[in-house]
Structure 1
């Protein structure tokens, strides 16, 4: 992927300079699905950046004005033309429309450049911000998986299973929405 520019953001592959920004949003993940990515040092962030650089499925989201890395978008292809998508953002930048702005450009990239037919995202039932983002992106809520997956445990060590929504968007739905 080459760089994508929006009004206020740059979406691009990760580089070493992204480690400090990544440390900010991965030092205290607010969503359980990112708990395994929790880091506490710049060295750990640099190691993850190296992995992100090797895997083109992760995209850094940076402020155009300052170059500050404020989050990431990611996708996983399922043959032949379906992609699982997701995002992770620094909470200090919430409520400013950056997630939507970057995600809209990301969806366009996947549908146009990667020839995606269908995109879907899993969102925990308590992650209302990501649910709202999916809905602003015109994704349909397709279902709720009860006790779908566990990313954490209760105090006694037993798994805490989370209820998870699945949202999806077909290319023809995206095209219809963007032709209005």
Structure 2
């Protein structure tokens, strides 16, 4: 078991290393998430990788059989003509006893409230400080601030992590983790030096 690096992220989530596996579509399955959690980080299952909420429930059970360490579920809400049944995916995570919900996109306040009522820790991904401040007001526990280097949906303001991470840390009263362009221990050390409580790595 790796020694614990004590940060607000590790204290809130119960992990040993301040490293969160990015919620990657098609990749965030039980095999990867459990390996990350067993290594001391926070593995993340990607809800919408699973075709149905029932499939997500089975993947959560599989992940639980592969690790006794904390892991989370990512649920990203993007504009869609026919949106997935987000509430049913959230309920599958709640019913599966998942304690960390990673969110991204336009999450309605009632969705956050439902997760919080179930005792979940909410880690929300943002690409600007103003969006992070809005999420903080809605009750999220941790912000993942995604610089322009981040994959997926890095926003449209083209602000790199070296500028964005310390700006978010200064502006928020909740823990911030850095996302984008972090690939090794040196990147983790740099993020911690900028004031982040950990990193999100894809």
State if a TM-score over 0.5 links the two structures.
no
TM-score (norm 2): 0.30
Structure of greater Rg: 1
Higher strand share: 1
